[in-house]
Amino acid sequence: MTVKKITLAGPENTGKSSLFNYLVGKNISTVSEKIQTTRDRICEVFKLHDLYVQATDTGPIVKTFTNALQREIFIHSFLAILDSPIVLIVITKQTKLIDVSILVEFCILKNKYIIFIVNKLDHLHCSFIHNFSFNKNIISIRYISIKQGKGIPLVLDDIKKIFNFTKKKKVVYNFTHKYKIKVGIVGQTNVGKSTYLNTLLKKNQNITYDENFTTSNPVLTTFLYKKLKILFTDTAGIKANCLSLFNRIFIYFSFNVIRLSNIIFFMTDIGKVKSKEDKKIMNFIAKEYKPCLILINKADLLMPKDICDLSSIRYLYLTLYKFDSKIISSFKYQHVIDTIPYILMIYKTFNKTISVNILNKILYNVNLKKKHNLKEGRNVYIYFGKQISKMPMSFIVFSNTDIIKIPYQQYIKKSISQEFKIKSIPIRLVFHKIH
Residue 293's closest CA among 262, 270, 247?
A: 262
Pick the CATH number of 181-350 from 3.40.50.300, 3.20.20.140, 2.70.98.90, 4.10.520.10: 3.40.50.300
Q: What pLDDT is stored for residue 86 in this prediction?
A: 94
Distances (CA, A) of 192 to 72, 177, 199: 16, 29, 10
Break the chain into its structural domains and give their ranges: 3-165, 181-350, 356-433
Q: What pLDDT is stored for residue 299 in this prediction?
A: 77
Dist. CA 72–CA 70, nearest whole Å: 5
- On the question of pLDDT at 13 being above 80, the answer is yes
Dist. CA 386–CA 426, nearest whole Å: 16
Q: What pLDDT is stored for residue 159 in this prediction?
A: 92
Which residues lie below 8 Å from residue 118, measured CB to CB, with a gap of 6+?
91, 92, 93, 126, 129, 141, 142, 143, 144
Domain 356-433 CATH class label: alpha beta
Q: What pLDDT is stored for residue 146 in this prediction?
A: 82
Query: How do residues 273-282 score in pLDDT, each as one tens digit?
Result: 666 777 788 8
Dist. CA 126–CA 348, nearest whole Å: 58
Dist. CA 422–CA 350, nearest whole Å: 9
- In contact, 263 and 182? CB cutoff 8 Å: yes
- On the question of pLDDT at 75 being above 80, the answer is no
Highest-scoring range by mean pLDDT, 40-54, 229-243, 268-282: 40-54
Which residues lie below 8 Å from residue 418, measured CB to CB, with a gap of 6+?
none
Dist. CA 284–CA 308, nearest whole Å: 30
Query: How do residues 253-299 score in pLDDT, each as one tens digit?
Result: 778 888 888 999 998 877 666 667 777 888 888 888 899 998 888 87
Listed range (38-42, 174-178, 370-374) with the worst mean pLDDT:
174-178
CATH number of the structural domain 3-165: 3.40.50.300
CB-count burial class (<10 Å; 0-12, 13-18, 19+) for 4: buried
Highest-scoring range by mean pLDDT, 32-36, 176-180, 229-233, 244-248: 229-233
Is cis: bond before 291, omega within 30 of 0?
A: no
Residue 263's closest CA among 237, 233, 236, 238?
A: 233
Q: How confident is the model at residue 105 (pLDDT cuts 50, 70, 90)?
A: confident
Q: What pLDDT is stored for residue 169 in this prediction?
A: 41
Q: Could you tell me which residues are beta bridge partners of residue 369?
A: none
- In contact, 80 and 41? CB cutoff 8 Å: yes
Q: What is the pTM of this model?
A: 0.60
Q: What pLDDT is stored for residue 204 in this prediction?
A: 66
Q: How confident is the model at residue 128 (pLDDT cuts 50, 70, 90)?
A: low
Q: Could you tell me which residues are beta bridge partners of residue 399?
A: 382, 433
- On the question of pLDDT at 87 being above 70, the answer is yes
Q: What pLDDT is stored for residue 132 in this prediction?
A: 55
Stronger pLDDT, 136 or 6, i.e. the higher one: 6
Mean per-residue pLDDT, 99-127: 77
N residues, the chain: 435
Query: How do residues 150-168 score in pLDDT, each as one tens digit?
Result: 889 999 999 998 888 765 4
Does 181-350 match 3-165 at the fold level? yes
